[in-house]
Amino acid sequence: MMIKETYQVTAGDMTAAGDVSARIKRHMKQLGIPASVMRRVAVGTYEAEINLVIHSDGGRIDFAITPEGIDIRVVDVGPGIADIEKAMTEGWSTATNEVRNMGFGAGMGLPNMKRNADEFTIASEVGVGTDIHMLFRI
Amino acid sequence: MTVKEIASILEAKFLCCEEEGDRQVHSAFASDMMSDVLAFVTEDTLLLTGLINSQSVRTAEMLDLPALVFVRGKNPHQDAVERAKMIGMPALITHLTMFEACGRLYQSGLGAVEIEDYDGEMEI
């Protein structure tokens, strides 16, 4: 059975940040995905969602179950990332104080996504946006 | 240790979901940085935080944590408590500071989260 869903994420709305990840998590629970996998996907999508809210001009998260596992694709329109290697370094962040006051912006988002996913790829173009792919094997 | 026992040690009050007070907690993690929580916390871990907005509850929700405690008597935002209620997550508030709350729990036998990739060397 192939399942594919797309969720839109609105930029700037910190109070709603996490809604999409919670919906994806609920969906996984209904499908009976093992708790350990579910948690890794939840952390990956939540960090991605926070990034969309704080850094992009909006985007989408695609959730799919494929023969390989749980496939998450995160695509945004926005400023993009000039130096991906730097952005992948723990502790490196361009977040504002406002974002830090919300508990994020510690420069752990992308490293957390990579750590939790079995496969992680990121592509970005300055002035266009960022495209992240994560695969979680079940 | 149960969430109810934690409430007693921390002289804490349940903001919601007291009926879930028998949940078991095996370790604790204290932070205001939610990405650190997301990076290092495993299940059955209590979250202690001074972050009073809804992202603290959402972080606990993503990780399926048994409960969270707001320290230093800071009342969490209404949407944080509502979120906790909605997902059935016990949320507690203690007047103790983060340091004292952690100290009391540690003294009572609650340990730290084991960080898997820590190899005993620090990069300084």
In this prediction the pTM is 0.93
- Please give the residue of chain A at the shortest CA–CA distance from B79: A15
In this prediction, residue A106 has a pLDDT band, given cuts at 50, 70 and 90, of confident
Between A70 and A2, residue with greater pLDDT: A70
Six-digit token string for B55: 């992202």
CB B84 within 8 A of CB B91: yes
Residue A94 is predicted with a pLDDT of 87
pLDDT at residue B4, rounded to an integer: 98
What's residue B19's pLDDT?
98
Contacts of B39 in chain A (CB under 8 A): 108, 111-112, 115
Mean pLDDT of the residues in chain A: 94
pLDDT recorded at residue B42: 79
> Can you tell me the mean pLDDT for B18-29?
97
Cβ contact, residue pair A106, B35, below 8 Å: yes
Tokens 């989408």 -> residue = A60
The string of pLDDT tens digits covering residues B78-116 is 999 999 999 999 999 999 999 999 999 999 999 999 887
Instruction: Kindly tell me if the per-residue pLDDT of B121 is higher than 80.
Output: no
What integer is the mean pLDDT of A71-81? Answer: 97
What is the model's pLDDT at position B124?
59
Assign 3-class secondary structure to chain B.
CEHHHHHHHCCCEEEECHHHCCCECCEEEECCCHHHHHHHCCCCEEEEECCCCHHHHHHHHHCCCCCEEECCCCCCCHHHHHHHHHHCCCEEECCCCHHHHHHHHHHCCCEECCCCCCCCCCCC
Domain range B3-110, CATH architecture: 3-Layer(aba) Sandwich (3.40)
- Domains located in chain A, CATH noted: 3-136 (3.30.565.10)
Give CA–CA dist B35/B115, Å, rounded. Answer: 14
**Sorting pLDDT into bands at 50, 70 and 90, what band is A37?**
very high
Cβ <8 Å between B36 and A115? no
Rounded average pLDDT over B37-58? 93
pLDDT in the model for residue A96: 87
Percent of chain A with pLDDT strictly greater than 70? 99
Adjacent-strand bridge partners of A120: A134
Surface of A (104-123) touching B: CB under 8 A: 104, 106-109, 111-112, 115
Count Cβ–Cβ pairs < 8 Å, chain A vs chain B: 68
Between helix A35-55 and helix A19-31 the angle, nearest 10°, is 160
Q: DSSP character for A87?
A: H
Of B118 and A25, the one with more pLDDT:
A25
pLDDT given at position B118: 56
Mutation target for A interface from B33, B37, B38: give the one with most A CBs within 10 A. B38
ipTM score for this prediction: 0.92
| A5 secondary structure, DSSP code | E
Q: Which residue has the tokens 């985007």?
A: A59
Contacts of A33 (CB under 8 A, 6+ apart): A41, A70, A138
If you average pLDDT over residues A8-30, what whole number do you get?
94
Partner residue opposite B62 with nearest CB, options A42, A107, A115:
A42
Q: Which of B33, B58, B63 sits opposite A39 (nearest CB)?
A: B63
SS3 of A62, please?
strand
Domain boundaries, chain B: 3-110
What percent of chain B clears pLDDT 90, i.e. is strictly above it? 86
Query: Which member of B34, B49, B62 has the closest CB to residue A104?
Result: B34
Q: What is the pLDDT of residues A123-135, one digit of tens each?
A: 999 999 999 999 9
Residue A40 confidence (pLDDT): 96
Q: Which neighbouring-strand residues pair with A28?
A: none
CA B91 – CA A56 distance, rounded (Å): 32
